[in-house]
Amino acid sequence: MNCTGLFAATLLIGLGYSAVAMAEPVSMDRAEKLYDTYCAQCHGMSRNGKGINTVGLSVQPRDHTDTKAMSDLPDDQIRLVIEEGGLAVNKSILMPAWGEAMSAEEITAMVSYLRKVCKCGN
């Protein structure tokens, strides 16, 4: 193997490792921490839509403990609203997009975490 071949092989192995690392599933604990960091200021530490940031918001954030209302939302819609924000699902722009801040695996974990919070299946 010449030098270029060795370099290419090393690069491929490196890429393989990072792809595996990126595809690792995200734990519920991590999803809960992400919620505290990104979502709780609006959706509340109690997950009931009454975060400290909601004073003066013209549209109130979703109560994620509301089993009935959350049951009406399919996983696809929850995923989309987290990734692209309220406007993507014809809801308020006050719900921000998180696709830049969170990885696809983190968003998948967040959808599962929200199902745990609402105690509702899909």
- Chosen residue from 48, 77, 108, 122 binding ligand HEC by CB under 6 A: 77
87 is a contact residue toward ligand HEC (CB under 6 A): no
CB of 67 to ligand HEC, least distance (A): 14
The answer to whether 29 and 83 are in contact (CB under 8 A) is no
Whole-number Å distance between alpha carbons of 105 and 97: 16
Whole-number Å distance between alpha carbons of 77 and 83: 10
Binding site for ligand HEC (CB under 6 A): 38-39, 41-43, 53, 57, 59, 61-62, 73, 77-78, 81-82, 86, 89, 91-92, 94-96, 98, 110
